[in-house]
Amino acid sequence: MGTINLLDSDTINKIAAGEVVERPASVVKELVENAIDAKATAITVEIADGGIGMIRVTDNGSGILKEDIEPAFKRHATSKIGSVMDLLSIGSLGFRGEALSSIAAVSQVEMITKTRREITGWRFLCDGGETRSLEAIGCPEGTTIIVRQLFYNTPVRRKFLKTAQTEAGYVIDLINKLAMSHPEISFKLVSSHQNRLHTSGNTNLKDIIYQVYGRDVTMQLMPIRAESDLMTITGFLGKPSLSRGTRAWENYFINGRYIKSAIITSAIEDAYKTFVMIHKYPFTALHISIDPAYIDVNVHPRKMDIRFSRNEEVYQYVFSSLRNVLEGRDLIPETTLTEEKKDDSLAKAAIPEPFEKHRISHEPASGTSFLHDAGSAYLQENSSIKNNAGHMENTGSTEESGSNFDNNGKGFERQPGQAVINQAASEKSEPLPRLSQVKQETMEDDRFLGKAARPKHRLIGQVFATYWLIEYENKLFIIDQHAAHEKVLYERFSKAFNEQQLHCQQLSPPAVVNLTPAEEDMFRMYTDYFRELCFEVEPFGGNAYAIYGVPLQLFGMDAGDIFIEILDSLTPEKKSTEGSAITYHIATMACKAAVKGNQTLSYQEADALISEMLEADNPYSCPHGRPTVISISKYEMEKKFGRIQS
């Protein structure tokens, strides 16, 4: 007996459904695209149980004639094309003739439809691909399709769906993008009896962006319009400060079709290079119109991919169009001064880091060191440092941070048991700051960051307001102050989190952020996790949320920015509070709180930072893998100056 079997039509339909219908959002996409092709000007989408229990899509489009209803549910039945040649110039969103048959094969479907020329409408019932009834009914013009019990007859497929909340999030995100792709259509989305979106259909894309992303995003948009023989680009770009940690905000539409294209994505991200940080992605809402003859949309069963016949030209035009907008604008972020600073001319001239607001003149405050406690919450007047015996001693005045050499041009050499001193100042030496829990090391440990080597460090000075130069054992060591401080804070945060020792600092006034519906759902899912990280966040009306408290170590930082960055990195699967994900979030907080590059430090502060590095388990790289310190040997320098032959 042969081993090749001919599959029955029921199995064939279910296999085909698997290519088109992945989850409730896939059903919504197909039905809404059919409504758009039917020239609808208003589309309402309702879902229950995340779309698993029920999906209802209602439109005011052209409707379907009685004689076309049953054929519409057959495989490869479509009104969009008539021959293979039509594939070369497709202007509609749907054309494959698989949507309705695939949806009907794995659910219970009810359709109510009426055309303008017919007196009555028609109600059609289909269960698992089998027709149940077709009867006359009174109804308005247009079409309503109700899909119930998705995957009820394919339990294996159903068990791979996420929670109802997660599936609803996919639908919400999809409708947001479809609304932006067709601003001339009024979209309404109802999820579990709650209105999640309602657009006017007034053709104003900026209005839709406001409804979906909120005021803060809308205020940072730059319009774009570019036209060539190949394509036309219109829409909006976000300023670089609007960048996020995921590609979720990269929206672009080809001839009104929401798709993903590696070519377009690369062009967008390459255009933003040097404008946004590494691993950050911009906001875009681009409408691209191109001759259908130059694209192939028949690549993906769900029509989510697209192929260009002129890849290089498409890439170059998108890249250059975006780059022209970015290079032609003043992209300096605007800073809002508080009332207390409004008339402070010095503050207007140079806005310091949040944790250095007391050092506007770039002179260190007497006896203070923020490196021992990150964030302005730890800054107190006349702070003191523990010595070896555990007693508290005043550190005294620090030197001018802008002076790196004494009057004789010499550096500053650490004496055993002493802090760095300014030899020109003729001041009494200060005790060497020690950590209360320095790792036990033998006196034979002469590593650069070893305890025995510490008194022999000769701190020369700071260059480029970022790097500290230290001479030790015929080598020049260069420390990146941001990476080093980030590492110190990271290990401190990790220890506090693991031992449940994080403390909350209240904010007054609170920081307010606007969240998209998907972000709101994500926050609700992870509310307890944010509490563990010492974030106190409460609803503030509409899609606004107020941040009333942050981890004490982050007080003075941009609370909204840190909150959003952590929220961006979370996933619906609830696996982001375990293992490496927690490490990432703690690293994010440490990075935000750490002293920045291009920021002048005093010698006492740099000295304290080096001392704290002794406590780190791995002081040689920051949480993101960048080195905290590099070295150049005396031998290598003498080779470069020709003093010795290689």
Higher pLDDT, 321 or 407: 321
Pick from 19-28, 267-276, 310-319, 423-432 the range whose average pLDDT is largest: 310-319
Higher pLDDT, 88 or 132: 132
Strand 504-514 with 629-633, pairing: unpaired
Whole-angstrom Cα distance, residue 329 to residue 396? 47
3-state DSSP assignment of residue 14: helix
For residue 74, which amino acid is it?
K
CB 157 within 8 A of CB 172: no
Higher pLDDT, 378 or 189: 189
pLDDT at residue 400, as a whole number: 36
Specify burial of residue 335 (Cβ count, 10 A radius: 0-12, 13-18, 19+): exposed
Name 440's Cβ contacts closer than 8 Å, sequence gap at least 6.
none
CA-based nearest residue to 594, from 580, 612, 570: 612
DSSP string, 537-562: EEE-STTEEEEEEEEGGGTTS-HHHH
pLDDT at residue 143, as a whole number: 95
For residue 309, which amino acid is it?
S
For residue 633, which amino acid is it?
S
The pLDDT > 90 percentage for the chain reads: 32
- Please state the rounded mean pLDDT for residues 477-492: 85
Per the structure block, which two tokens stand in for 268?
Answer: 């967008």
DSSP string, 583-594: HHHHHHHHHHHS
Asked if residue 333 has a cis previous peptide bond (ω within 30° of 0), the answer is: no
pLDDT at residue 293, as a whole number: 82
Pick from 90-94, 422-426, 454-458 the range whose average pLDDT is largest: 454-458
Whole-angstrom Cα distance, residue 111 to residue 139? 11
Q: Which residues are paired to 289 by β-bridges? A: 232
3-state DSSP assignment of residue 130: strand
3-state DSSP assignment of residue 299: coil
Per-residue pLDDT tens over the stretch 394-403: 333 333 333 3
pLDDT at residue 275, as a whole number: 75
Per-residue pLDDT tens over the stretch 263-320: 999 999 988 886 776 678 999 999 999 988 888 775 555 556 777 888 889 999 999 9
Whole-angstrom Cα distance, residue 428 to residue 361? 26
CB 425 within 8 A of CB 399: yes
Count other Cβ atoms within 10 Å, centred on residue 561. 13
Per-residue pLDDT tens over the stretch 85-112: 444 445 455 444 577 888 998 999 999 9
- Please state the rounded mean pLDDT for residues 417-436: 33
Question: In 182-220, where does DSSP find H-type helix?
Answer: 205-213, 215-218
Q: Which of 501-515, 583-597, 598-612, 631-645 has the lowest mean pLDDT?
A: 583-597
pLDDT at residue 412, as a whole number: 42
Per-residue pLDDT tens over the stretch 533-583: 888 999 998 889 999 998 886 777 788 888 888 888 787 765 555 544 566
Whole-angstrom Cα distance, residue 403 to residue 602? 9
3-state DSSP assignment of residue 590: helix
Alpha-carbon distances, residue 129 vs 5, 513, 566 (angstroms): 22, 47, 44
pLDDT at residue 19, as a whole number: 61
Sheet harboring 504-514: ordered strands across?
Answer: 504-514, 544-551, 536-539
Q: Which of 32-36, 170-174, 321-325, 459-463 has the lowest mean pLDDT?
A: 459-463
Count other Cβ atoms within 10 Å, centred on residue 217. 20
pLDDT at residue 451, as a whole number: 76
pLDDT at residue 368, as a whole number: 35
- Please state the rounded mean pLDDT for residues 23-52: 94
CB 606 within 8 A of CB 462: yes
pLDDT at residue 349, as a whole number: 36
Higher pLDDT, 377 or 122: 122
Domains by residue range for the chain, with CATH:
9-203 (3.30.565.10), 207-327 (3.30.230.10), 344-485+598-640 (3.30.1540.20), 502-593 (3.30.1370.100)
Whole-angstrom Cα distance, residue 612 to residue 606? 10
Count other Cβ atoms within 10 Å, centred on residue 281. 22
Which residue's structure tokens are 């379907």?
64
Per-residue pLDDT tens over the stretch 223-257: 999 999 999 999 999 988 788 888 999 999 999 98
pLDDT at residue 624, as a whole number: 64
Is a pLDDT exceeding 80 seen at residue 364? no
pLDDT at residue 216, as a whole number: 87
